Structure 1
Amino acid sequence: MKASPIAVSAQHPSISLLGTTALLFEAPGALDLAPQQRIWALAHEVQDWPEVREAVPGMNNLMLTFARPPRDQAQLAGLQDRLLSAWEAVQPLPLEGRVIELPVVYGGEGGPHMTDVVAHTGLSVDEIVALHSAPLYPVYALGSHPGYCYLGGMDPRIATPRRKVPVLSIPGGAVSIGGGQTGVSASAGPSGWNTIGSTVMSFFDPSQDPPAVLRPGDMIRFCVEGIIR
């Protein structure tokens, strides 16, 4: 069955199938906390629909996996219409999570791309550290790899494009900037982001319930433990 994605505009969401077992709802507009809170509300609303197995919030999007996949185009169109109606009706859902402070050592071996951020922004190391550690960052969503959190609220003055050639492996706890976002790797792996520092924290433990330490609605504060030039 071939999906008929709804056209994207400044006002309208986009809906498309992910194979035959899932669907992706993408919110319109720029990435910000208020539309992300509507995504959280939409996830809460549709989780109990009989055809939905799981509703997984992403960055400005929501993935639905099906307990009972749509059998034909008419059934899919009906589901799309219900999603659009639910999106129009939901209000931002403020999730009151925990404030988690992460001590960060900026620069040095743990922040090998600090010089690239300096070169791109024209700011000094001290200015970058001050701007990066100032906000209280909301956790928008989990994804990429187990325990990884997508954060909002980074100062646009330190936004730096992702690397043209990804790094084959960065350690867990690497604090990085990719475009207009910042994040912390939960485990070792490849990355195209610019690593500017490191922190020590266990973000994922499969023996715990839930296994991911962070949840959407939590807040992260990066605390300057040191700066290595």
Structure 2
Amino acid sequence: MSQAEQQPFEFGQITIEMVNEQSCLLRFADHIDDTVADAIGLVTLRLRDLDGIIDTIPSYTSLLVTFAIEQYDQVAICQQIQSLLNNLDMADIKSRVSREIVIPVYYAEEVGPDLQEVADHCGMTVEEVIQLHSQTTYRAYAIGFTPGFAFLGNTPEVLHVPRKNTPRLKVPTGSVAIAERQTAVYPGVSPGGWQILGRTPTPLVDWQSDSLALIEVGDNVRFEAISQAEFIAQGGQLDGF
């Protein structure tokens, strides 16, 4: 369904559920599409402007909100959020301009050990995999499982590959990977079972900034292939595996 064909989002359909004494969960829908993602992104931005909101963690169809218990009890936080929702409409979504983030990537087997395996699985050459992955514009639908880890979709159908049967215990910082219909960048060293195609020298997390993460929900993301020399000149490291 194209953006033009999508039904308008109704903010009145959002439900608020208490998770514990200092967090609640906003459920937007039971399906994934760009309109739902737009609504989640807009509410996330508006909530960050409220006093007493400690953190917001958006996902594909919901938003987890952590608040200061010395400022809100369970009734007060629900009333505050509901008041905010009552004053939003589709015009607010349409007025929000999505950013475009361009991430340079060195695609090569020395930093992308699954590159050839992905090409073989998809019946393509390595060059075709790189070209298709880097020519697609992705949407940031959710953030997790570590700070700065953005779930980006959708990869072209021909690039849909399963996760690895045995996850790696250590995936290097900056690794660019795909799994099923998603792609992502590992912002730090962590375990991971996605298929790794390459690596970016660009930091995904800035601990000194207000936003913390380079990519936020609702952003459009493109990958740009660079050479090994460019990768190293921009601070990239070839070790890690």
**Shorter-chain TM band:** 0.7 to 0.9
Q: Is the 8 A contact 2:103 2:200 kept in 1?
A: yes
Following TM superposition, by how much is the alpha carbon of 1:70 offset from its aligned partner in structure 2, in angstroms?
Answer: 5.4
* Deviation readout 1:120-176 (Å, 9 max, x if unpaired): 333332332222111222333433222222223322221212222211111111000
What is the correspondence of 1:93-172 to structure 2 with a 5 Å cutoff?
A: 93=94, 95-172=96-173
Q: Is the 8 A contact 1:101 1:222 kept in 2?
A: yes
Which residue matches 2:187?
Answer: 186
Following TM superposition, by how much is the alpha carbon of 1:17 offset from its aligned partner in structure 2, in angstroms?
Answer: 4.2
Q: Is the 8 A contact 1:14 1:28 kept in 2?
A: no
* Deviation readout 1:89-115 (Å, 9 max, x if unpaired): 642356424433222222312111123
Following TM superposition, by how much is the alpha carbon of 1:218 offset from its aligned partner in structure 2, in angstroms?
Answer: 3.4
Structure 1 counterpart of 2:161, one-letter code: T
Q: Is the 8 A contact 2:53 2:68 kept in 1?
A: yes
Matched residue of 2:183: which SS?
strand
Which residue matches 1:7?
Answer: none
Q: Size of the alignment, in residue pairs? A: 211
Q: Is the 8 A contact 1:140 1:216 kept in 2?
A: yes
**TM-score using structure 1 length:** 0.73
Report the CA distance shift for 1:45/1:201 in structure 2 as closer, same or farther (over 3 A). closer
Q: Measure, in 2, the Cα distance between the counterparts of 1:138 and 1:180.
A: 12
Q: Is the 8 A contact 2:109 2:116 kept in 1?
A: no
Matched residue of 2:162: which SS?
coil
Higher-helix-fraction structure: 2
Report the CA distance shift for 1:13/1:131 in structure 2 as closer, same or farther (over 3 A). farther
Q: Is the 8 A contact 1:103 1:224 kept in 2?
A: yes
Report the CA distance shift for 1:94/1:177 in structure 2 as closer, same or farther (over 3 A). farther
- Over the aligned positions, Cα root-mean-square deviation in angstroms equals 3.4
**TM-score using structure 2 length:** 0.70
Report the CA distance shift for 1:67/1:209 in structure 2 as closer, same or farther (over 3 A). closer
Provide structure 2 residue ranges, at least 5 long, that are not aligned to the other structure: 1-12, 229-241
Q: Percent identity of the aligned residues?
A: 28
Which residue matches 2:201?
Answer: 200
Following TM superposition, by how much is the alpha carbon of 1:52 offset from its aligned partner in structure 2, in angstroms?
Answer: 5.3
* Deviation readout 1:181-218 (Å, 9 max, x if unpaired): 10111111111111111111122232344433333343
Matched residue of 2:226: which SS?
strand
Q: Measure, in 1, the Cα distance between the counterparts of 2:211 and 2:14.
A: 31
Matched residue of 1:109: which SS?
coil
Provide structure 1 residue ranges, at least 5 long, that are not aligned to the other structure: 1-11
